[in-house]
Amino acid sequence: MNTPHMFRGSPVLLLLLLLSGVRIDGYRPVIIVHGILDGPKQFRTMSHYITKVHPGTEVSVIDLYDDLDSLSPLWNQVQDYSKAFDSIVQKAPDGVHLLCFSQGGLICRALLSMTPHHNVHTFVSLSSPQAGQYGDTDYLWIFPSLKKEMFRICYNAMGHNLSICDYWNDPHHRSCYLRNNNFLPILNGERPHIDMKAWRENFLRIKKLVLIGGPDDGVITPWQSSQFGFYDSNENIVEMRKQEFYKSDTFGLKALEDRGDVAVCVHSGVKHVQWHSNHTVFTSCIEKWLT
Ligand SMILES: *[C@@H]1O[C@H](CO)[C@@H](O)[C@H](O)[C@H]1NC(C)=O
Ligand SMILES: *[C@@H]1O[C@H](CO)[C@@H](O)[C@H](O)[C@H]1NC(C)=O
């Protein structure tokens, strides 16, 4: 009997593997949260890309608030997504990755902020209006050519019933936004609230934040919102590091970056609905983080 055979399938080998930190059960599960007016169907290509390069990965596209239901208020959605999320992570002691598209990126950020002791490793924010939305687009009929008037709908009681109002950020009506938008200013800590410190700590449990977006998106406006940039009152872009929520680090973004854990990936030539199906985007911005 020679030595290597002695270790085959033996508890000693298993112990060595465990001690060396190698996960013997493969890749961490990936949870996908879809965007506005879409659903699991739109993420078949992405799921296929993932399992092709990382065989055996368990990919779950949460099947909630699909299509028109995605217009429901975001806090309601967050509540239900939270239950689905919890039931998946309970079965994943080594942690999971979150890949969230468009509006889904805000749902995910809320989940990460509100869930104590979560075990999310990488949070991929795929063309998500992280700093808000202010723009007309031809793809979404629900953003008619009304951007100058949307604040009237969004920043009052009626607006609390429509998901897009939860991240509608009109740079010409900043005080209304801060006062009457009950979602994004809370998430950003732009309107102080009692849970801010805890939410920041929870958010900071992630190991990596990956921000993906680009100038030909056509829906996210300004497209820099996908990287936490946004308009000032003259509609000039203020980049992430000059944003007040960054400078005062209200929700952990600056701390994450100081830690070296914010990765930014900008691609031109990608329209909004193509981000999750573009193979170049997958190989250059996503694949390496999903281990
Ligand atoms: C919001 O929607 C609920 C039903 O989901 C409805 O009862 C309520 O009247 C709506 N509120 C406004 C201000 O539109
Ligand atoms: C895919 O991404 C590449 C590089 O980012 C871009 O040049 C190309 O136009 C995209 N293709 C589609 C169909 O989105």
pLDDT band at 138 (very low <50, low <70, confident <90, very high): low
* Ligand closest in space to the Cα of 158: 1
Ligand 1 geometric centre to CA of 177 (Å): 20
Domain spanning 23-289, CATH architecture: 3-Layer(aba) Sandwich (3.40)
Mean pLDDT of 21-30: 73
Lowest mean pLDDT across 14-28, 81-95, 110-124, 218-232:
14-28
Mean pLDDT of 208-216: 98
Q: What angle do CA 262, 268, 270 make, to 5 degrees?
A: 100
Q: Which atom of ligand 1 is nearest to the CA of 161?
A: 1
What six digits make up the tokens of 251? 């929700």
Q: Is 127 a catalytic residue?
A: no
pLDDT at 148: 87
Q: Is 272 a catalytic residue?
A: yes
* Spatial distance between the Cα atoms of 170 and 145, rounded to a whole number of angstroms: 14
pLDDT at 4: 40
Long-range interactions of 243-247: CB distance < 8 A, separation 24+? 243/131, 244/190, 245/188, 245/189, 245/190
Ligand 1 geometric centre to CA of 161 (Å): 6
pLDDT band at 116 (very low <50, low <70, confident <90, very high): very high
* Ligand closest in space to the Cα of 72: 1
Q: Is 82 a catalytic residue?
A: no
Query: Which one of the listed residues 47, 60, 70, 102 is annotated catalytic?
Result: 102
Mean pLDDT of 59-84: 97
Q: Among residues 31, 28, 25, 24, which one has the least CA distance to residue 95?
A: 28
**87-112 pLDDT, tens digit each:** 999 999 999 999 999 999 999 999 99
Strand partners, 168: 133
* Ligand closest in space to the Cα of 284: 2
User: 143 or 111, which is more confident?
Assistant: 111
Please name the amino acid found at residue 220.
I
**46-59 pLDDT, tens digit each:** 999 999 999 999 99
Helices then strands, each counted (H, E), the chain: 12, 8
Q: Domain segments of the chain: what residues?
A: 23-289
Please name the amino acid found at residue 272.
H
* Spatial distance between the Cα atoms of 261 and 246, rounded to a whole number of angstroms: 14
From residue 12, how far is each of 1, 18, 20, 24, 138 by CA, in Å? 17, 10, 12, 14, 61
Query: Which one of the listed residues 217, 225, 226, 276 is annotated catalytic?
Result: 217
Ligand 2 geometric centre to CA of 268 (Å): 7
Query: Which one of the listed residues 118, 173, 272, 276 is annotated catalytic?
Result: 272
* Spatial distance between the Cα atoms of 102 and 90, rounded to a whole number of angstroms: 26
**180-193 pLDDT, tens digit each:** 999 999 999 999 99
* Spatial distance between the Cα atoms of 175 and 179, rounded to a whole number of angstroms: 6
pLDDT at 136: 78
Would you mind telling me the total number of residues written for the chain in this entry? 291
Neighbours of 99 (CB within 10 A): 28
pTM (predicted TM-score): 0.90
By the 10 Å C-beta count (0-12 exposed, 13-18 middle, 19+ buried), 224 is classed as buried
Mean pLDDT of 99-127: 97
Ligand 2 geometric centre to CA of 152 (Å): 37
| Ligand 2 pocket at CB < 6 A | 267, 269-270, 274, 278, 280-281
Say whether pLDDT at 210 is over 70: yes
Mean pLDDT of 123-151: 82
